[in-house]
Amino acid sequence: MQNKYTDWKQALRSGLLGGAIIVLLSLIGIVTAFNKTFIITKVLTFGELLLLGPIIVFSFVAIRKAATKSPGFLLLTGAIAGLASGLVLIALVGVGQLINLRAMFVNASDDLYAIYSYNQTLFFGMILRLAVSGLTGLMTAGFFRLPARIKQALGQALLYIIMMGLMSKLIGTVIASWGFVSLLFEWMFARSGLSIVGAVVIFLLVGGLTYWRYGRPKARLVRDPKKQQLVRWGTLGGLGILILLLPSILGMWFSEILDNVGLFILMGLGLNIVVGFAGLLDLGYVAFYAIGAYTIGVLTSPELGFFNMTFWQAFPFAILVAVAAGILLGLPILKMRGDYLAIVTLGFGEIIRLLALSDWLKPWLGGTQGIQRIAKPVIGIGNFSIQLESQQQLYYLILAGIVIVAFIAIRLRDSRLGRTWMALREDEDVAVAMGINHVATKLTAFAMGAIFSGIGGTIFAAKLGSIYPSSFMFLVSINILSLIIVGGMGSIPGVFVGALALMGLPEVLREFAEYRYLFYGAALVAMMLAKPEGLWPEARHKLELHEAEAPPPQESEPAATSA
Amino acid sequence: MENVLVSKKVTKRFGGLEALGKVDIELKKGAIQSIIGPNGAGKTTFFNCVTGFYTPEEGEILLNGRNITGLSPDRVAHLGVSRTYQNIRLFKNMTAVENILIGMHPHLKSWLFGAIFRDKRTMNEEAEALAEAKRLLEFVALKGRGDMLAKNLPYGEQRRLEIARAMANKPHLLLLDEPTAGMNPSETQEMVHFIRRLRDVLGITILIIEHQMRVVMSISEKISVLDFGQKIAEGTPAEIQRNEHVIEAYLGRGAASGLGEAKAKG
C-alpha cells in the first residue's frame, strides 16, 4: 500500500510540475503568440499544443516512475497527472480573476484565459479544460499500453504531422520556388499549417510505412558485394548531385543560409584542427577570418585604390598573411596552456578587430566605414568566364572551398602530423618526451587553422562586397567553438553537423518569431544533455586489424568449388 | 665496455631545496641497474634531469659520451632515451597502436606535405611504422589489442603498452619509473621476466626506479641508493643489503621489518 501511496503522490507531483511549465510558457507569452499559428488548420494550433505537450510529457514521466504496474492503475496515474495540470491552469485563471496579475505578468490577459477556456464562458470553459487535460493524461497512459508496433506507427505519424505543421511556412517557401511543380503539393498546406487532408495523408503514409517496416530486418536490395559497392557509390553520387542542386531546390532565401552555414563549416574545420586535434583552446579565431577578409579588401577594392587586384590575384596573399598571422600569434603563446592560452588568444582576436576599427589605420582599413566594392571572384577564361555574384553562385565557391579543406583536414587527421597533434593534446609533457617538437607542431596547427579561416574570410568579403569591423566580433569565435563542441570535439563530420545545427537551426526556427532564441537555447541544452560528447563524436581509426576488418570470405564459396 | 649513461656531479635545486646533490651514476652498456631510496629522495628528479625536463644547475650528463645536459626533452628522445612514468601516462584517448606510433616519432619524417599529398615515401614510411608497431605489440603480448583505446586496457596491459611505446624509439637507454607499481605478485614476476627479456633480446640498457625490494634485488646488477638527494651507497644487491648507511636510511627499523614496509609501499 505504501507503494500505491507514493505513486499517487508521484502522479500528482508530475501533473503539478507539468501545469507549472504550461503556466510558465503562458506567462512568457508564447501560448498567446502562437494561438493563431495552426499546425493542422482549424484543428490544432501551436498554442494548444504547448498547453497539451507538457501534460503528455509529465504524465508519461508519472507512468514511467510508477511502481505499481497494473494497467488500470497506470491509466489512473495518467489521468491524475493530467487533471493536476489542469487544476494548475484553473488556479491561474482563478487568481487572475481575483487580483490583477497583468501588473506583473503582461501576458496573464483575458486573451490567455479565453484560450484556456476554449472561448466559452469562463466557468464552463475551465471545466472543459480540466476534462481535456485529464483526457490527455489518460490517453498518454493509454498510448503506452498499445502494442509496440502500433505505438511506434502512431508516434511516428504524430511526430511527423507536428514537425511538418510547425515548419509548414518554411516548407511552403521552398516549394513555392519550384514553379509549376509546387502545384503538386499545394493541397497539403493551408494558409497556416497543414490542411486537414494533408495531415490525414501524412498520418496514413508515415503511420502505414512505420507499421509495415516494424520488426523487418533492413532489407538489402542487392546481395552481391560488388553490386553493393555500386549501390554505395550510387548513393554517394546521388547525394553529391543533391548537394550540387541544393541552391536551386531551396531557393534564394535558403541559399543565403546555406552560404552562411558553409562559411562556418570552413572555419569550423580550421578551428577543429587547432582545438579539436591539437587541443589548443583558441578564442581569437575570428582574427584570421578578419585578416583574410581585410587582405582581400585592401588588395582588391578600387575605393582604396592601392592595388586593384582581382579576387584570385589577391587570394594567395590573403592566405600568406593569414599564415603569417597564425605563426606570429603562435610564437608568444607556445608555453601557455589551457585557460591562459584562451585568454591570450581572446585578446589577440580583439586586437585585430580594434586595429581594423582604429583611426590610426583608417587610411588603409577604412575604420568604422570598412571597405566597400570588394572584387567578386571570376571563374573561367576569356569569354567563358562568369563573375560569382548571387548567393546561389557563391554557394559553389564555398562548396569547393569546403571540399578542399575537408579533404586536407581528413588527410591531416590520419597522418603522422595528426597523430602528433593528438599526442600533444592528450599529454604535452609526455609527447615532448617522445621526441615531439612542440614548437613546430603547435605552429603548424595554428598555421593550418589560420589558412582555413583566412579562406573563409576571403569568401566572406567577396560574398558581401563590403566588410566592417563589426562583422568580426568575439561572438564569431564563440560560435565556431560552440559548433565544434556541439558536433563533437576533433570530429570532422561533427563540424558539418554542428554547423548545421548551430547556424541552420536559428534560421529554421524563424517560425517562432521572437521566441526563436528561447527554443534555440532549449534545443542546445537538450542536445548537450542527450549527447554530451557531441552529435557526431570522433572515432579512432582501427589500424592494427585493418585488413581483418573486411568481412571474412564466405565459407560457402570454397565448399561450392570443392563440390 | 663503454658507458651508455654517465652523470657527473649532477645537482638540481628547487628554490632552497637541493633535490639532487652531486649525484654520480654510471651505466654500462647492456646493464640493468636500479635507483632506490625513500620517497622524495630525488629518484624521479634524476630521471627528469636525464630526459631533459629539468636542467641541472651543476654537473654534466653524458649519453654515449655526448654531453646532453640542458638539451630539450624532444632532442634527448631523438638521441635515444625513452622512459615510462610512475603513474602510467599513456595517450588515453588514442589507440594502443597510435601510442606506439607516437613513440616511433623520432624515426619518422613525414610532415605537412606528406600528410596532404600522401606521396610514396610517406606511404611506405607509414606502412613500415605500422608493421613495426604490430611487432612491438606482439613483443609485449598485446597482439589483437592494438585498436583499443589506451584507457580501456587493463592496468597491467597499460604498463606493458607504455614500455612498448618507450621501446618504439629504439632507445639506447630505457628509464623505467616503478614498472611494477600497483601489480600483484604474479604480475610483478611477469614484469621482471619481461624487463630481463628486453635487455637479453634487444640489448637495451635499462635504469629502473623501484620500491619493491624483491624486484630490485632480483633484477639489478648494480644498485644506487639515494637519500635526500645524495647518493649514499652503490653496489651489487648483496653489498647494498649489507650496507650500513642504507639500512639506516632506508630500512631503518631493521632489515626484516623494513623489507615488509617497502613492499607495502610498492
Question: SS3 for A543?
Answer: coil
Closest Cβ opposite residue B74 in set A426, A435, A542:
A435
Domain range for residue A431? 252-530
Q: Fill in the DSSP letter of residue A307.
A: -
Domains of chain B: total: 1
Is A434 close to B105, i.e. CB distance below 8 A?
Answer: yes
Residue A100 lies in a domain: yes
Look at residue B256 and tell me if it is in a domain. Answer: yes
Within a domain: B22: yes
Q: Domain for residue A471, yes or no?
A: yes
Q: For residues A204 and A413, give the distance between their C-alpha atoms in angstroms, rounded to a whole number.
A: 46
A341-368 mean pLDDT: 91
C-alpha cell at A52: 497539451
Longest dimension (CA), chain B: 66
The closest alpha carbon to B155, from B133, B188, B128, belongs to B188
DSSP helix/strand/coil, A386: strand
Taking the CA of residue A405 as centre, how many other CA atoms within 13 Å lie in the half-sphere pointing to its CB? 31
Answer whether residue A1 shows pLDDT above 60.
no
In the A/B pair of chains, how many CB contacts fall below 8 A?
119
How far is it, in rounded angstroms, from Cα B178 to Cα A369?
65
Is the pLDDT at B261 greater than 60? The verdict is no
**Lowest-pLDDT choice from A157-161, A222-226, A370-374:** A222-226
Point out which residues pair with B173 in neighbouring strands: B81, B205
* Smallest Cα distance from B86 to chain A, Å: 12
Start-to-end CA distance of chain B, whole Å, equals 33
pLDDT at B234: 93
Nearest beta carbon to residue A432 from set B73, B82, B85: B73
Q: What's the start-to-end Cα distance of chain A, in Å?
A: 70
Give counts: helices (H), strands (E), chain A: 24, 4
Beta carbons of B153 and B61 less than 8 angstroms apart: no
Q: End of a domain among A94, A121, A145?
A: A145
For A43-70, write each residue's pLDDT tens digit.
888 889 999 999 999 998 888 888 777 8
Q: What is the domain count for chain A?
A: 2
Inter-residue contact A370 to A468 (CB < 8 Å): yes
Chain B residues inside the 8 Å CB shell of A420 = 102, 105
- Please tell me if residue B264 touches chain A, with a CB cutoff of 8 Å: no
Instruction: Give the pLDDT score at B260.
Output: 47
Instruction: Look at residues A127, A145, A163 and tell me which one is the last residue of a structural domain.
Output: A145
| Cβ atoms of A136 and A19 closer than 8 Å | no
> Roughly what angle, to the nearest 10 degrees, separates helices A286-300 and A338-357?
30
Identify from B68, B93, B102 which residue to disrupt to test chain A contact, counting A C-beta atoms within 10 A and taking the largest count.
Answer: B102
Task: Pick the residue of B147, B149, B158 with the most A CBs within 10 A to test the interface with A by mutation.
Answer: B147
CATH code of the domain covering residue B70: 3.40.50.300
Q: Do B165 and A434 touch (CB under 8 A)?
A: yes
Instruction: Check CB contact of B132 with chain A, cutoff 8 Å.
Output: no
**Closest chain A CA to residue B83:** A433
Specify if B119 maps to a domain: no
Helices (H) and strands (E) in chain B, counts: 11, 10
| Contact status, residue A465 vs residue A296, Cβ threshold 8 Å | no
| Residues of chain A positioned with their CB less than 8 A from the CB of B112 | 417, 444, 448
Q: End of a domain among A124, A145, A166?
A: A145
Nearest Cβ partner of A412 from B115, B133, B144? Answer: B115
Contact between residue A386 and residue A393 where contact means Cβ atoms under 8 Å apart: yes
How, if at all, do strands B3-14 and A38-40 pair? unpaired
H/E element, B9: strand B3-14
Could you tell me what percent of chain B has a pLDDT over 90?
A: 75
Measured between CB atoms, does A427 come within 8 Å of chain B? yes
> Per the domain annotation, does B130 fall within a domain?
no
Tell me if residue B8 falls in helix, strand or coil.
strand
Quick: pLDDT tens for B107-121.
Answer: 999 999 999 999 999
Q: Across the interface, do A423 and B102 touch by the CB < 8 Å criterion?
A: yes
- Which of B122, B147, B149 shows the shortest C-beta gap to A543? B147
| Chain A residues lying within 8 Å of B44, measured CB to CB | none
A408, A422, A545 member nearest B147 (Cβ): A545
3-state SS, residue A107? coil
- Window 57-86 of B, Cβ < 8 Å to A: 72-74, 77-78, 82-83, 85
pLDDT, residue A224, reads 72
In this prediction the pTM is 0.84
Question: Does the residue A186 lie in any domain?
Answer: no
CA distance A268 to A456: 10
B chain contacts of residue A418, beta-carbon cutoff 8 Å: 115
Q: Is residue A57 part of a domain?
A: yes
Query: Using CB atoms, which residue from A426, A433, A435 is nearest to B92?
Result: A426
CATH, residue A386: 1.10.3470
DSSP for residue A184: G
A403 domain residue, yes or no: yes
Residue of B116, B125, B139, B140 to mutate when probing chain A, most A C-beta within 10 A: B116
Task: Mean pLDDT check: name the lowest of A111-125, A262-276, A439-453.
Answer: A111-125
- Kind of pairing, strands B17-28 and B66-67? unpaired
Q: What CA–CA distance (Å, rounded) separates A365 from A359?
A: 9
* Span of A202-216, A346-360, A407-421 with lowest mean pLDDT: A202-216
pLDDT value at A529 more than 90: no
pLDDT, residue A97, reads 87
| Cβ-proximal residues to B110 (8 Å cutoff; 6+ apart), any chain | A415, A416, A417, B121, B122, B125, B126
Closest alpha carbon to B8 in B61, B44, B71: B61
Residue from A269, A404, A544 to probe the interface with B (highest B Cβ count within 10 Å)? A544
In-domain check, residue B185: yes
Q: Is A411 on the interface with B (CB under 8 A)?
A: yes
- Residue ranges making up the domain that contains B184: 3-80+171-265
> Mutate which of A403, A416, A427, A538 to disrupt the B interface (most B C-beta within 10 Å)?
A416
